[in-house]
Chain A
């Protein structure tokens, strides 16, 4: 129960941070997706059975404020989470460099995926521009070590975590 409350509080913090960064850097034309950084951080800590729904909800949160398509962010976040879970056994996400690299690349991927999904499902163009996308991804990447540390420090010993996977089975 305590882990769920912690997770909920982290989610609330993620939404506030995401909107804060989106508002702050949106003025400069940068598309910062801090929610994705939080979602990827959840993937490194939570077991897939908890990680996927959390990441899906993170994406869905962004979809509530979209006007073109409902569900595109949930879809792209799920893809990002899938990639994260696939590569996590082969990469050590303890260090800041892999965290930054993962956030940077997956932010770019989700931007492209969102653009494509919105184009396919609503024939609209949702593209922040290369500068905005790369700049936003870079800022997200720079923030990611702090986000990963926060998520790990908060959820490291919960029942939903990977560290408790064998104990729970």
Chain B
């Protein structure tokens, strides 16, 4: 008869072992603490310190490198900040340069106006175009009004390339602004005469097409390039304001009773920026 011996199963953990292990190391550390630092302990420490020296050097190098990195990052951040400031300054400088360019152009334009000096011939005020009618550009609003002596139906002249020319007529006036109907508008009309034969006609606007003179007698000798001036018969405009030059004479209609003359306006009203508003007629 064979009796099988039953093996007792191994324990996976010994309860006391969990405490003996740390207790042993604690005891060892306490023993180390009790030992005098001089003598063998000092030698032991010195030997191991030498062993760990490369690691300390590596750590020191890493720290130095990290400090260098932080310095570099700081410099980069400073450079980024400086770059942003400089960009802003460049933008400001560009803006100032543009403003200076605008002022320079304005100065040149005003100098040209002073040389022409329509104020020597007529009484009136200089005004700037403050607003332009966006859809048709047939009217402009000036920055001067009744307070500056502008009244309705005042003649408005402009200056282009040293030449004074008819620009329009004031149709509305407020205290500080006034609206000008430009010569190209279909509602504009003015009595004018041709320089060559002194024949008078009626200047009318034609919207986007060139302005024209109507009611010129058929026999009138007109040539392209003839100068046109406002007539003394006009109740609105002083006599002698240059209007422009004849650009075309239409003779195609067999039944026409009068000539129609196309005019190249002396002042391009679409680009006009300063005007002279004649208030009380010609100076004496």
Contacts and interface: CB of A to CB of B under 8 A. Distances in A.
Say whether A and B bind each other: yes
Interface of A: 12, 15-20, 22-24, 48-49, 52-53, 56, 59-61, 63-65, 67, 69-72, 74-75, 78-79, 81-82, 85, 117, 121, 165-166, 169
Contacts of A85: 18, 22
A61 B51 CA distance: 11
B28 A74 contact: yes
B33 A20 contact: no
Nearest to A61: B52
Interface of B: 10, 12, 17-18, 21-22, 25-26, 28-35, 37, 41, 45, 48-49, 52, 55-56, 58-60, 62-63, 66-67
Contacts of A166: 12
Given A65-B49, A166-B12, A18 B59 contact: yes
Contacts of A63: 32, 45
Nearest to B56: A19
B52 A64 contact: yes
Contacts of B25: 52-53, 56, 74, 78
Contact of A75 (B26, B41, B59): B26
A19 B22 CA distance: 26
Contacts of B21: 48-49, 52
Contacts of B66: 20, 24
7 contacts: A16-B58, A20-B60, A23-B63, A69-B33, A75-B33, A81-B22, A121-B34
B22 A70 contact: no
B9 to A, nearest CB: 11
A20 B18 CA distance: 34
B63 A20 contact: yes
Contacts of B52: 15, 61, 64-65
Interface of chain B, main secondary structure: helix
A10 B21 CA distance: 23
Contact of A48 (B18, B35, B45, B55): B18
A148 to B, nearest CB: 21
A64 B52 CA distance: 9
A35 to B, nearest CB: 11
| From B12, B22, B34, residue with most partner A Cβ within 10 Å | B22
Contacts of B60: 19-20, 23
A82 to B, nearest CB: 4
Contact of B29 (A20, A61, A75): A75
A59 B52 CA distance: 14
A56 B62 contact: no
A71 B26 CA distance: 9
Contacts of A22: 59
Contacts of B62: 16, 20
Contacts of B55: 12, 15-16, 19
Nearest to A120: B33
A15 B26 contact: no
Nearest to A169: B12
B33 A72 contact: yes
A39 B67 CA distance: 27
A72 B66 CA distance: 31
Contacts of B35: 70-71
Given A15-B55, A16-B62, A169-B10, A117 B33 contact: yes
Contact of A121 (B10, B17, B33, B49): B33
